A = this chain, B = another copy of it.
Amino acid sequence: MAPVPQRILMGPGPSNPYPEVTAALVHPVLGHLDPEFLSVLDETCDRLRTVFATANALTLPLSGTGSAGMEASFVNFVRPGDPVVVGVNGVFGERMCEVAARHGAEVVRVEAPWGRPLDPKAVLAAHPSPSVIAVVHAETSTGVRNDLAPIGAGKGDALFVADTVTSLGGMEVAIDTWQVDVAYSGTQKCLGVPPGLSPLTVSDRARARLLPRPSSWYLDLTLLSNYVTSGEGGRVYHHTAPVTMIGALHAGLGRVLDEGLVDVWARHEACGRALQRGLEELGLELLVPEESRLFQLTTVLVPDRLPDGLDEAGVRRALLDHYDIEIGAGAGQLAGRVWRIGCMGHTARPSNVEALLGALREILKR
């Protein structure tokens, strides 16, 4: 087999994994009930609590990608007919609507233009008594930050569900302070771990509202909590935990916490600022106004004029083929109109920013 190319992963995820993560992937495999593995699992959950800034007992890595976390966040709480308010200003808000609707929710959409943040007041005013309010913190399709704190403060009796897939580990996430009830994330963005797991946390308030027998057995949080958190009767087997990926997540979280959360956020911010300044110096226009722009994921408008023989996809292909650098295409209504450039996890280093800016300069000046 040909060697696998070593890419600089600057798309919307996966990012390059931290070296500590790669090292953990080849640890000997342990059984999912081995006491040695269970202590790794316990420590992983503790580390997740630190990164989520929560004391939530029900905090765990779900055995699926971020989208499985999204589904778990609805299927365990939403009954047919429940009013669910969803903020929509990108692909992942749209996806939340679809997932909630499939579980029978009466979805109330609150929209903002793609590339602009949601208005928290509009979200809170959308329904007098929603059972759930759901918002994406960092919209991976646009590079916009939606502020969670005002929604948590005004949620009333609703459960507040937040998508933190692209924010966790790359910028401040404060689940308890912001009064988020259910948050899910992914491993392959700012945590610098390959894709495959969804860190998830559930407040005690939300835990009291878990449906007793949701339609999904695989994502049933009551059954999962009986395995992950050892209750009085000990742990109860649910499914075979993906031990290798959990070991990788354990290592990635360890790396992030060793570096220090605040320092990791600052590193993402510094790289994002340098990238965004460099892109503007190349004459490119950014989609999102500075005040709601993410640092870890930047959306650039594809220029009207490109060098002869190159189109939007051609630029990405040239980056990949000549420089081994991956950037992302636009998604949803932004398909063909933007590039998405991630600088997350172990990718978030100044050398990668310079490599991309230099390569892009060469390609665009042709």
A350 within 8 A of B: no
A351 within 8 A of B: no
A144 within 8 A of B: no
Which stretch (A94-102, A125-133, A152-160, A296-304) binds chain B? A94-102
Which A residues, 61 to 81, have Cβ-Cβ distances below 8 Å to chain B?
63-68, 70-71, 75
Q: How far is the CB of A196 from chain B (nearest CB, A)?
A: 4
Which stretch (A13-21, A45-53, A107-115, A274-282) binds chain B? A13-21
A331 within 8 A of B: yes
Count this chain's copies in the assembly: 2
Structural contact, B95 and A25, CB atoms closer than 8 A: no
Chain B positions within 8 Å of A30 at CB level: 4-5, 7, 9
CB within 8 A of A240: which of B66, B103, B242? Answer: B66
Count of chain A residues with Cβ under 8 Å from any Cβ of B? 65
Looking at A22, A64, A186, A248, which has the most chain B CB atoms within 10 Å of its CB?
A: A64
Looking at A7, A213, A239, which has the most chain B CB atoms within 10 Å of its CB?
A: A239
Chain B positions within 8 Å of A7 at CB level: 28-31, 34
A121 within 8 A of B: no
A257 within 8 A of B: no
* Main DSSP-derived SS at the A contact region: loop
CB within 8 A of A31: which of B31, B99, B326? Answer: B326
CB within 8 A of A68: which of B17, B75, B218? Answer: B218
A244 within 8 A of B: yes
Chain B positions within 8 Å of A27 at CB level: 4
Structural contact, A99 and B66, CB atoms closer than 8 A: no
Complexed CA–CA distance, A95 and B339 (Å): 45
Q: Which 6 A-B pairs have the closest CB atoms?
A: A196-B242, A194-B244, A67-B239, A25-B25, A4-B27, A6-B28
A-B contact pairs, 5 of them (CB 8 A): A63-B68, A70-B218, A99-B217, A103-B215, A195-B241
